[in-house]
Structure 1
């Protein structure tokens, strides 16, 4: 907690200093979910869950509090603290930024803010904002760089009866990511992140697309997952006559560091006559490296049975494409085979699922949700799996 306080001390000082003169507003959101996960292979399909067939109120539950201060003349400060059950309810400062309203159409924001990886990334933790107990994992798989330190420009344009909203962002991130191949968190970094997104809206529909590109800092992903996996093959290649120059070139070819990380998404949603349709597709990975690009998508159809009740069914799929073109410059057959094996090891996972969700708004600020998901994961330690969730999402 001391670390969090030190990190946010400048912004907290601003909020405290303006308390007497400016409007200080508090709001928040929470999810209290009980989830049961089962799998044929006794391994959970996603690392934050336990496949022990018991209901747990830990993995999907969270609490968040946000404080915003209007400093006047278009300037405001915001800080958001989040406590998640999957992290033992340790409190972290997820957002901490200053905003300046340039005019009616443009706002600039700087600090620690949401990274719009996919369409709903900025508010995916706010369960009350969508009709699922959890957003489809084929897209919203829980990438660890959901926040970023940087600067962003949000703009709104009105074109006849349509509205176009855009965001341009520049920043960086350093942290850890979970890798299925090592079974643990590995350090990784993103530098010079440049992100662009846009949403065009009509009366009952939205279409959207976005992308970001960054320079990767390989960290222990390179040392523990990529280069370590290559070492037996490198040793064999050297023993068979490969030169050190060939090995160095091979290591630079397969590693993630200094390569381009590319993340893109597109989709649409419809809300017409109580019928709801949502579709989103994503594609992401590290270019010209041993990483396999991921393609994930989901399609959902829902119906608003009453003003306070919505039923939604959906299907989703995530698959990895092992493209070996990056190895075209590797002439040594042992090193080529090693690179191929690493890529196939990093890109061996696919999963798909179908689910049904029921949302009941029993209060203007709270919704009861029941969600059942049945899926299949190609990893033999997982296999067929089910997820059952009952819980409450709220805002305050």
Structure 2
């Protein structure tokens, strides 16, 4: 990515020494107007309201500072503000890096969580040719960051032009997630998060894949969302003769706390003779719980003409209702209740197709306009279309 850096020197003094450190500043942003003919109120377009143009929903700014501390050590902080959050500033990244050698670099602190292939730079609109990355895959997860450690490596494979990039990460995350079934945010945590990303690339193509697994700290999701929804069914089942053991089997099956979650992805990218072809498939689920298994993908085809890039794409997200977790539940009342819970957490599926025009009118800025049309299984959304126009920039 092209970038211009503003460099300044600061002098830190102490009774014992004076140190000279260089700080490099860069950043990125987007200013975009969006319009939809449907009132969403749910992922992935919670910020859109029917018939209204919004400049807040997809506008954002970020400033990143990096200081070289010498002998391979550096410190990085990224301040980030997004219109949909009233431009409240947060320290999105804050970490130390150490260059172990020419191949390996270690990072420690608050880092990007590499959920899928482009998650680390999902917000940098200038880095891709969409107005927004396909939302079937890039849902703007709340857990886009993590606190932990990562090892990034780059290997040249023999005498060929092949390069293998890897990233191994370990950490945790605590925050809130939006639960569509109750239309509210609920505390959630990821413990013992392990991830591995691989990218094999040549001059004009790349193959990539990755995964992360974690243990869910979902006590509040259970207490605020799942268990209150089924308490009436539990009471009815007990009144009709269900045993406490059957109730325990039932609640163990549908709750999230201390269950394992797995996310994985795979795809490819081609940039050859001004023809651009990209595809990515992802899958994620909280195992042995009422969470639905999510499958999502997108395919994009683009063509570059001087400063212009035209991209068409199609995307889809589906959710699989797995009732097999209820196989050991004996009570008909609890069995029916569990099926309703699973269905309520898997009631949103959608597909969409769109076209985007990118115009690089400036070395550090691109104007984009796009049109997206799709269908959502939620009856209050149904068919929808979105039009947006704006500028993505870096500095």
Misfit runs of 4+, over 2 Å: 15-20, 41-48
1:330 aligned counterpart, secondary structure: coil
Match among 95, 98, 121 for residue 97 of structure 1: 95
Contact 1:149/1:171 (CA < 8 Å) preserved in 2? Answer: yes
Is the aligned partner of 1:204 residue 2:220?
no
Aligned length: 380
Indicate the SS of the match to 1:21.
Answer: strand
- Decide whether the 8 Å contact of 2:310 with 2:356 is kept in 1: yes
CA contact (8 A) 1:37 1:44 kept: no
**Residue matched to 2:136:** 138
SS at structure 2 position matched to 1:382: coil
**Does structure 2 conserve the Cα–Cα contact (< 8 Å) formed by 1:44 and 1:382?**
no
1:69-88 deviation line (CA, Å, top 9, x unaligned): 01111100000000100000
Equivalent pair of 2:28/2:63 in contact (CA under 8 Å): yes
Structure 2 match to 1:384: 383
Contact 1:163 1:201 in 2 (8 A): yes
Quote the RMSD (CA, aligned, Å).
1.5
TM-superposed CA distance for 1:50, in Å, is 2.5
Find the residue that maps to 1:347 and give its secondary structure: coil
1:219 deviation in Å? 3.4
- Alignment CA distance shift 1:47-1:185 (3 Å): farther
The aligned residue for residue 5 of structure 1 is none
Looking at structure 1, the residues matched to 185 and 258 of structure 2 have their Cα atoms a distance apart, in angstroms, of 20
Structure number with the higher helix fraction is 1
Answer whether contact 1:48 1:86 (CA < 8 A) is retained: no
Q: How far apart are residue 46 of structure 1 and its match? A: 3.2
Alignment TM-score, normalising by the size of structure 1: 0.93
Alignment of 1:274-353 (within 5 A): 274-306=274-306, 308-353=307-352
Is the Cα–Cα contact under 8 Å of residues 315 and 354 in structure 1 kept in the other structure? yes
Distance 1:225 1:234 in 2: 15
- Counterparts of 1:22 and 1:310 in 2: how far apart (Å)? 40
| Secondary structure, counterpart of 2:325 in structure 1 | helix
* Pairing 1:188–2:188 present: yes
Alpha-carbon displacement from aligned partner over 1:90-126 (angstroms, at most 9, x marks no partner): 0000000000000000011000000000100000100
Give the C-alpha shift of residue 28 in structure 1.
Answer: 0.5
Aligned to 2:222: 222
Cα distance in 1, alignment partners of residues 215 and 42 from structure 2:
32
Deviations 1:277-306 (A, max 9, x none): 010010001001000011110000000022
Provide the secondary structure at the position in 2 that maps to 1:344.
helix
Aligned mates of 2:132, 2:11 — CA distance in 1: 35
